[in-house]
Amino acid sequence: VQTITVEPAPAPVIVDAPSDTSIACVDALTFVASASPLAFTNNESGNCEITGFVNPVITEDYDECGGTVTITWDTIVNCDHPLNYVQTITIEPAAPPAYVNPPADTTLTCEEIAGFVAMPPVLNFNNGETGECEISGSVMPVIVEDYDECGGSITVTWDTTVLCGHVLTHVQTITVEPAPEPQYASLPADTVLSCADVSSFVLNAPALDYSNSSTGNCLIEGAVMPVVSENYDECGGSITVTWDTTV
């Protein structure tokens, strides 16, 4: 018995398969996924030729956050040769949004804050796109006040997470300056007494008033009692009168 084995024809391959590509979100608005049947061949002739066409199957999975269009050519041809090719068209996500005209940090004096009412605006945001690629909206502010006559701040925060997981945060800090420092009024000047005068001298040191000349919540005023220290004899010395406090 002689057995003559006939080898199978070479396996076919797909011809001119399209490469993967990417398109922007804005271009995807007018994009229509279409694909032609792909030819395949094994470059043989006669009875050994295996040729034909494979129809595509299109799968779309994208939105303003991006995604893909996959085009698949898949079949089994003569001699059970499988043919499979997938083209992936990547849809890029829409541009990230940003706040429109967010307010800058600022500073107020203690006097200015007395009549100030924090009324920050609702902040709008957008990504400058249109149609399905547009990401826009508005965010309400959250106000935190932490100040007194010694200064402090008001923070206004706009914070949210929008489509496609984009985080939008803007913080405006309004610095409140402290009230002016107070000063003593009518400070008594240093003086000199003779030894004869000091024998009949009775010290009557007054309480000293202080003020920062502001008004309302910014006013810092009061009085400080003196502390007297005598250190003298017939050989001389001094009397010191001290007004000292922290306000």
**For 51, what's the count of Cα atoms within 13 Å in the CB-facing half-sphere?**
10
Q: What per-residue confidence (pLDDT) applies to 140?
A: 97
Residue whose tokens read 């068209």: 89
Cβ neighbours of residue 6 closer than 8 Å, sequence gap 6 or more: none
pLDDT category, 34, cuts 50, 70, 90?
confident
Over residues 160-196, the pLDDT tens digits come to 999 999 999 999 999 999 999 999 998 999 999 999 8
Over residues 56-102, the pLDDT tens digits come to 999 999 988 999 999 999 999 999 999 999 999 999 999 999 999 99
Q: What per-residue confidence (pLDDT) applies to 70?
A: 96
Instruction: Let me know: does 220 contact 211? Beta carbons within 8 Å.
Output: yes
Q: Report the C-alpha gap between 233 and 195 in whole angstroms.
A: 8
Percent residues over pLDDT 70 in the chain: 100
Distance of CA 181 to CAs 186, 187, 211, 214, Å? 16, 16, 8, 10
In this structure, what is the dihedral angle of CA atoms 193, 195, 199, 203, given to the nearest 10 degrees? 20
**Once rounded to an integer, what is the mean pLDDT over residues 46-60?**
94
Angle 145-151-157 from CA coordinates, rounded to 5°: 30
Instruction: Let me know: does 209 contact 185? Beta carbons within 8 Å.
Output: yes
